[in-house]
Structure formats: structure tokens, C-alpha cells
Amino acid sequence: MHNFSYARPRDIEAALRLAAQPGSQFIAGGTNLVDLMKGGVQMPGRLIDITRVTGLARIHELPQGGLRIGALATNADTAAHSLVRERYPLLSQAILAGASPQLRNMATTGGNLLQRTRCPFFYDIGFRECNKRNPGTGCAALGGFNRNHAILGTSEECIAVNPSDMSVALVALEAVVQIRSLRGVRQVPVAEFQRLPGDTPQHDTILGPGEMITAVDLPGNSLARHSHYLKVRDRASYAFALVSVAAALELEAGGVVKDARVVVGGVAHKPWRVAEARALLVGHHLELRSLEAVADAAVRGAQPRQDNAFKIPLMKRAVVRALSEASQAGRTGT
């Protein structure tokens, strides 16, 4: 590991002042960053440990409805929080589908939103080509083992996937990221917080230098009761998604769909919204034909690579399954 300086401020202002200096990086749970530093993938000159900053770990109700999850709330605490479980079970399911209990005890909301891809060519500096790690060096995944790489929204510069389960649920729930810097405060929907690689895959998100995630706000809505997070993976626990689906429905009495959200994971550089889902489902009963139409929409434009063509049929089936499960979820009251 390379040498770095380390600071542990007690309040946000001090943290932001430190972060304004070049080469600085925040660290909280460190479940991803420490790995990357050990592997020589990231070499921040200064680490700003924000785990002692007060007030960032709270989970509380917002006055206009909805819930604010502090950036330092651990994934374990968030998934187990009674209000999250009651109003946003989708989020709880998604978090619990990821990592391991030990990791979830350390990992935080803000860190989860910023976790880097598991692309092996990014993660191992023994492979020289990686536009995300070293812009301009090429993409080793294009001609290499890319079974778990993206099929949607890729570029010739990068086909990495975002590994977060939590983010997929947050996009479906239309959550908003609260961001602070010395310049002020801004709010960005999670759906726009993470970005597609384009020709600058070194940027995973829109977060700028010196900016800190302080919280994620979940709006009050009626999508909670009929929701389901489906994760398909190579083993039953502690594996990244091959594909995942966050499905949330608002159903009228009689089963007509009033509103719908479908977001898929494991297939793009960010959670991938299936925007057509609303138009295809709202105003109708859930029928296999419409579910399959949403599934088709989910993979429209998909560009498979040599090892990951299976993700297209798998994703379609997963979308149908997740929507079916989401509609069932209301009946069992979960």
C-alpha cells in the first residue's frame, strides 16, 4: 500500500475543508476502498475518515413524508430498520441480498453508492489495459472474460457493471442523493447520480471533487407494498448479481396497475431503468403478455459480448418473475 496521510474530523465543515485539497478521498466503512488501495488500484494521497462525523448515521422520517437515510448508516442498520422494512421492503431485500453480514456491518449508504465495479481487469493491476483505472489504456474486458459484464449502455471504452444491489432498489424507489460541499448543497436523483461510461469511464458518478454524500432521501410513495427484489447469482450468498430486478407496483383494488417501476441491475454501468414499464403496465391487470413486453423493453438495445449473451434471456425471465412476485407480495402482506 502506498503512503497516505490520514485525518479524522469531527464535523462536516472540517471534513469538507480537508476534502477541498487535491488527492483527498473520504473513507467510511472501507470495505471497498481498502481493498482497492491494497491492490494498488486506488492511491489516494489523503484519507479523510468521516466515521466520527456526527449526525450522518441517522435514519429518520422527513416532514413531508419519506425517509432520510444518513450517509453513514450502515447497510446492516438500514436493512434492519423498522421503518425501512415497513415502508421500503424492496430496499431491505436488496441490501440483504448483497455482500455478507460482516461487510454489511461495516459498509455505509454513501460508500455503497460509490462502490467500484468488480471488473477483474479493473481490480487487478496485473492487467495493464483499463480505461477506468488508467484512461486511454484500453479495455481488457472487451476481448477477455466478460461473463459478468454489461450488455446495456456500454461503450467501446468500458463494459463494466455497477455491483451494488442497494442502488438498484434506490433507483426504483426514486431516491435522491443529498450532496454537500463547501460550495453548498445539491440534490441528485440516484438514477442520475451514477452514470454510463461513455468515453470517460473513470467517472462512476457525477460526484465532483470536494463533494460529500450526506444522506439519501426516500420519497413517500405507495410503491412499497407490492415490491420484490430478485437477484440471480452463481451461489446462494456472497456473490455479485448476474442480473437483478427491482420491481415495485401500485395496485388498485381489483388488481389494476396504478403505477409501476422496474429497474434492473448487473447489466449496466448503473442501475438500468425500464422506463417503458409504466406505460406497458399502468391501467391494466398484470398479464403474462404485458410482463413479457416489459421484459423485452428491459433488454432493448442490449449488446452482448462473447461470454454474456445469456444475460439477455436470463434478464427477461427475471423481469417476469420479479413482477409476478411483486404482485404476490401485496397479497401476503409483506
Q: Residue numbers of the site for other proteins (CB under 8 A)?
A: 1-3, 40, 118, 120-121, 123-124, 126-128, 140, 143-145, 147, 232, 234-240, 242, 310, 313-314, 317-318, 320-321
Cβ closer to other proteins: 52 or 147?
147
Is the CB of residue 109 less than 8 Å from the CB of residue 71?
A: yes
Strands 176-181 vs 212-218: parallel, antiparallel or unpaired: antiparallel
Burial class of residue 287 in the structure, from the number of CB atoms within 10 Å of its CB (0-12 exposed, 13-18 middle, 19+ buried): exposed
* Least gap, CB of 234 to other proteins (angstroms): 6
Length of the chain: 334
**Residue whose entry in the numeric block shows the C-alpha cell 450517509:** 71
Give the C-alpha separation, 271 to 269, whole Å: 7
SS3 319: helix
Q: How far apart are CA 163 and CA 49, in angstroms?
A: 23
Q: Map residue 259 onto helix, strand or coil.
A: strand
Give whichever of 185 and 236 is closer to other proteins, judged by the CB atom. Answer: 236
Q: Which is nearer to other proteins, 120 or 219 (CB)?
A: 120
Q: Which residue lies nearer to other proteins by CB, 234 or 287?
A: 234
Quick one: 220 or 310, whose CB is closer to other proteins? 310
CA dist 98 and 158 (Å) reads 24
Q: Considering the complex, what minimum distance in angstroms separates the CB of residue 2 from other proteins?
A: 6
Least distance in Å: CB of 1 to other proteins?
Answer: 6
Shortest Cβ distance from residue 310 to other proteins (Å)?
4
Nearer to other proteins, 236 or 253 (CB): 236
Report in angstroms how near the CB of residue 294 gets to other proteins at its nearest: 15
Q: What is the largest CA-CA distance in the chain?
A: 63
214 in Cβ contact with 184 (< 8 Å): no
Alpha-carbon distance 186 to 179, whole Å? 5
Least distance from other proteins to the Cβ atom of residue 267, Å: 14
CB 36 to other proteins: min, Å = 12
Asked whether 169 and 231 are in contact (CB, 8 A), the reply is no
Cβ distance to other proteins smaller for residue 1 or 185: 1
CB of 14 to other proteins, least distance (A): 27
**HSE on the CB side for 261, CA within 13 Å?**
26
Buried/exposed 219-258: b ≥16 CB within 10 Å, e otherwise: eebebbbbbbbbbbbeeeeeebbbbbbbbbbbbeeeeebe
Residue partners of 126: CB distance under 8 A and separation at least 6: none
Of 80 and 314, CB closest to other proteins: 314
**Chain-centroid distance, C-alpha 174:** 12
Residue closer to other proteins, measured from CB, 42 or 181? 42
Please, what is the minimum distance in Å from the beta carbon of residue 194 to other proteins? 21
